[in-house]
Amino acid sequence: MSRRSLEWWIGVVRLLAVPFAIFQVSLTTNYPRGDERTAWILTAILAAGAIAFLAAVRFADVRVFQAAATVFDFSIVSAFAVLFAFEPGTPTRQLLFLAIVVGAARFGMAGGIAVALAAIPVSAWFEERRSQHFVGTYHTDYVTFQAGAGLLMALLVGWLYDRLNEQRSTAVQRADEAEALRDELGRRADLLEAANRCARALSSSLDLDEAFGAFIRELRGLVPFDRMAIVLAEGDVSRVIATAGAKADEVEPPGSQSSLENNLVADIVASGQTVYRGDMSSPEYAEEAWLLELGVHARVAAPLLTGARTIGLISVGRLEAHSFTAHEIELVSLLGRLAASAVQNIRAYESERRTVEELRRLSELRADFVSLVSHELRSPMAAVIGASRTLQQRWRELQPAQREAFLALIGDETTRLADLIGDVLDTSRIDAGTFSYRFTDVDVAALVRDTVATASIAQSEVPLVADVDSTHAVVRGDADRMRQVFANLIDNAVKYSPAGSPVEVRVRRTDGNVLVSVSDHGSGVPEQDQRLIFEKFGRAGGGGTKPGTGLGLFIARSIVEAHGGTVDVLSAPDRGATFTVKLPV
């Protein structure tokens, strides 16, 4: 019960006490002179006070009201008790117990004790009046009994009141806690539902752009933003996979990569904790400089968590500083956890899709290879069979020079067949890991000179120019395998060069490496095919393609990489191509 409700109930009881007082005053006889008039005055005061207090209970300050009501009740009860001391055997002094009970009900044990102590002088006065009316001695034990009983009642009622008040406070506190928990539970449910909507949007499609488009639409309705990004940590770099908001397609668009040095991604991957940058006016990370240029001053960055591993972050930014609430920060953190698994699924799907496409491409290349090898085998075999049959059937009719020509044709085509079979065998050994090497100290400059000289003797249409640095260029390698590489590059350059256009072969030593470059002036390699030509069965497209199996550059790259080096191509349409082999000294 509240204090105001308690006072209202005491006011009702006080008002009911008025007719009881009127009845008792009118019923009493043998008043001493003047006491009857005093009794009616006290009754009138009681009636007026009862009405006034009952009327004021709704709007008065409850603490002040209770203090005033306690003084009034104690005074009126004390006055009636002392006034009716002339009646023998009437327990009017026990009215003081009512004041003690009311004081304890209003102010607890302290209030009850205070009223009980205040009642001691009244009890003494009552005993004095009683001894005057009835000739006899003054009974001190009556006074002490009344005082002791009052204090005991104050302690008992006060303890009960304090206990009830404590229980009431506990109940109110628990009710408030229950209401707060209910509100928090509702907020958590709303938070989870919002996060699930975003997660469902991410899972709605395995197409990266479509899935993130749906996710961003949901996110914008839940956490309004001016710039948003999802960034993955991949090795030593961070890669943006989705953006939205201010200049999303111009500044750090999807696909952009940045170093992890002084990058918030690195800190979040290390800690796995959400970071809130309420004001980025003083940038702490490299990316915050361009965010400030876009006008973004506050951002929340939450980790993308798959289990205990952090794979990146989701960043949500706003133009106004300190503009995110704790609820929004918590929501972004939850979204990071839910979005991570969807991102992983999409990445796994993309990887599988690329693998399938690569397998399909390799299957097509293999089919092309079978067709090419069949053609490459058929042509020399047809020439060998035709020349041998001609020699067999017309040996006596042919002149010696003609016989030599047919025998030379058979020798050239047989060599071509041997080279083709050798490439196929080398490729199978590389795939099986049984391609053998014999490493020794190799003078690259001398090896290149010999290879160029051999290639010059084999043909005369395309001049070969060797520009070999006089610097000592010795590497650790297999001389025969390296000769195979240089011969392949030179043969390709000759094959694709116009008659009379020179092929330059250069050897340089720089930064602890030996560089061997072979340049031609042919049609060049299209940019989209510059990676393909080093793959197994890979051949450049276009009208300038020459017959071949597409294995030579694959074998060359494998040999160079086995020596710890690299082979690259630099080419432009109709400007020839330059193949460069880099080998560590």
- For the chain, the domain total comes to 3
Dihedral through CA 440, CA 443, CA 448, CA 454, nearest 10?
-70
Domain assignment of residue 10, yes or no: yes
What per-residue confidence (pLDDT) applies to 419?
67
Mean pLDDT of 473-496: 85
Q: How does residue 449 score in pLDDT terms, banded at 50, 70 and 90?
A: confident
Q: How does residue 191 score in pLDDT terms, banded at 50, 70 and 90?
A: low
Domain assignment of residue 8, yes or no: yes
Same domain, 144 and 279: no
- Give dist(CA 12, CA 14) in Å, integer: 5
Percent of the chain at pLDDT above 70?
89
pLDDT for 211 beyond 70: yes
Percent of the chain at pLDDT above 90?
1
What per-residue confidence (pLDDT) applies to 414?
82
What per-residue confidence (pLDDT) applies to 367?
67
Choice between 520 and 1, residue whose per-residue pLDDT is larger: 520
Helices (H) and strands (E) in the chain — how many of each?
Answer: 13, 13
Of 430, 415, 581, 413, nearest to 509 (Cα)?
581
Same domain, 32 and 170: yes
Domain assignment of residue 92, yes or no: yes
What per-residue confidence (pLDDT) applies to 24?
84
Question: Residue 93 corresponds to which amino acid?
Answer: R
What per-residue confidence (pLDDT) applies to 116?
83
Same domain, 146 and 222: no
Same domain, 577 and 455: yes
Of 474, 463, 530, nearest to 507 (Cα)?
474
**What is the residue-averaged pLDDT of the chain?**
81
Of 143, 314, 305, 136, nearest to 225 (Cα)?
314
Encode pLDDT of 119-148 as tens digits: 888 888 887 787 777 666 777 877 788 788
Encode pLDDT of 26-84 as tens digits: 888 778 888 888 889 988 998 898 888 888 888 888 888 888 888 888 888 888 888 87
pLDDT for 441 beyond 80: yes
What per-residue confidence (pLDDT) applies to 96?
81
pLDDT for 250 beyond 80: yes
Encode pLDDT of 312-364 as tens digits: 888 889 999 999 888 888 888 877 777 777 777 777 777 787 788 878 877 77
Same domain, 47 and 170: yes
Look up residue 294 and give its two tokens: 């876009």
Residue 131 structural domain: 3-175
- Give dist(CA 305, CA 232) in Å, integer: 11
Same domain, 552 and 493: yes
Choice between 202 and 526, residue whose per-residue pLDDT is larger: 526
What per-residue confidence (pLDDT) applies to 69?
84
pLDDT for 542 beyond 60: no
What per-residue confidence (pLDDT) applies to 187?
66
Same domain, 315 and 456: no
Q: Domain end: 353, 381, 416, which one?
A: 353
Same domain, 231 and 330: yes
Same domain, 151 and 8: yes
Residue with tokens 């961070």: 238
- Give dist(CA 260, CA 207) in Å, integer: 27
- Give dist(CA 553, CA 536) in Å, integer: 8
Task: Report if pTM > 0.75.
Answer: no
Q: How does residue 394 score in pLDDT terms, banded at 50, 70 and 90?
A: confident
Q: How does residue 224 score in pLDDT terms, banded at 50, 70 and 90?
A: confident
Domain assignment of residue 419, yes or no: no
Domain assignment of residue 364, yes or no: no
Indicate which CATH number applies to the domain containing 343. 3.30.450.40
Indicate which CATH number applies to the domain containing 538. 3.30.565.10
Q: Domain end: 353, 375, 399, which one?
A: 353
Q: Domain end: 327, 353, 379, which one?
A: 353
Same domain, 171 and 213: no
Domain assignment of residue 405, yes or no: no
Domain assignment of residue 543, yes or no: yes
Same domain, 163 and 23: yes
Q: How does residue 152 score in pLDDT terms, banded at 50, 70 and 90?
A: confident
Of 289, 358, 304, nearest to 334 (Cα)?
304
What per-residue confidence (pLDDT) applies to 435?
75
Same domain, 219 and 143: no
The highest-confidence range among 45-54, 377-386, 394-403, by mean pLDDT, is 45-54
Domain assignment of residue 34, yes or no: yes
Residue with tokens 């973004």: 296
Cα distances from 566 to residues 142, 452, 486, in angstroms, run 118, 21, 13
- Give dist(CA 180, CA 187) in Å, integer: 10
| E-assigned strand segments in 423-524 | 440-443, 464-468, 474-477, 503-510, 513-519
Contacts of residue 339, defined as CB under 8 A and 6 or more positions apart, other chains included, come to: 198, 199, 202, 215, 230, 304, 314
Helix 3-27 and helix 62-83: axis angle, to 10°?
A: 20
Helix (H, G, I), strand (E, B) or coil at 541: coil
pLDDT for 535 beyond 80: no
Look up residue 483 and give its two tokens: 């000769």
